[in-house]
Amino acid sequence: ASEVKGTSDKSRVDGFLEKAYKGEVLPVHVVRWLSATASKIMREESNIVNLEGSVTIVGDIHGQFYDLLEIFKLVGNIPSKKYLFLGDYVDRGANSVQVMALLLCLKIRYPTSITLLRGNHECRRISSAYGFHTECLSKYGGGQGLDAWKYFTDMFDYLPIAALINGKVLAIHGGLSPGIVSLDQIRVLERFTELEKSSPLQHLMWSDPTENHRGFYKSDRGNGFLFGEDIVNFFFQVNELKMLVRSHQLCKDGYQTQFNNKVLTVWSAPNYCYRMGNKASVLTIDKDLKYSFTTFDASSRNAKYAAEVE
């Protein structure tokens, strides 16, 4: 079930996958095919993807391609390991095009071994302002660059919103929304669309937990909300959950645990923007809900990008 149907698609994507692992910039007609083919697969996935067994969870990557390769080296390759990515694949870093191409190749080749969720940067408004649009233009040239960005951003509309791991752990990019009390409300959201400001869909990708407030509180980000432990406890009670796993916030140590380990934040972009000096992590959760963070440092292959921002 985890293999591509049809020998031609399989052999076709294998050739692209080999190049994508090397960090080659794939031609724009390949980007079009990858985006359309992955969109067809993801269109069939629920807003909340059900995952069983052991899964490795990856937080924000933000175009740091060589650090993504470090994760596979550290934990193991797909399909020998099952991965869940929490979004924010693009912007900020230097190689969003290569990150996106590799992840799409893997999704097409091993659809049940990798789940890609949507982050707040997987939309037209944000990715046109924080680097991805500019990177597409610079790597492909004007007309083709615009096409590549359009193919990728059209595909973003098909990314699922959340994952439910072993029935008890909700994984999502950002956090909770005052407009959503139950998982069933997430299941029926219209997701095949641009992220609209102040919508529950957008809140799920922008909100953050806080230990400083009860209830929902206006976020300094200008989008989403801050939410307190009381909100988490109520949401868990209604939906019979044990943990919320999310990304979206830079963590100096690569991860953070809050509210007696009920909320786990995993951050997977080490030395973020090639200058923040932070560690990164991935999170593995097994079938019994035992979890462990694996931390790692930035790849030495990032040195040239670090030099550019100094």
List, by residue number, the catalytic residues: 121
Show the tokens assigned to 263: 């909320």
Show the tokens assigned to 123: 């939309």
SS3 state at 197? coil
Residues 6+ apart with CB under 8 A from 262: 229, 232, 233, 236, 242, 243, 244
Spatial separation of the C-alpha atoms in residues 301 and 307, rounded to whole Å: 11
Q: At what angle do helices 65-75 and 96-109 cross, to 10 degrees?
A: 40
Show the tokens assigned to 264: 């786990």
SS3 state at 165? strand
Give the number of C-alpha atoms closer than 13 A to the C-alpha of residue 45, restricted to the C-beta side. 28
The total number of residues written for the chain in this structure? 310
Q: Name the one residue in this structure whose structure tokens are 């610079």.
A: 138
Spatial separation of the C-alpha atoms in residues 96 and 135, rounded to whole Å: 8
* Residue 236: DSSP 8-state: H
Spatial separation of the C-alpha atoms in residues 70 and 51, rounded to whole Å: 24
Q: What residue type is 159 in one-letter code?
A: L
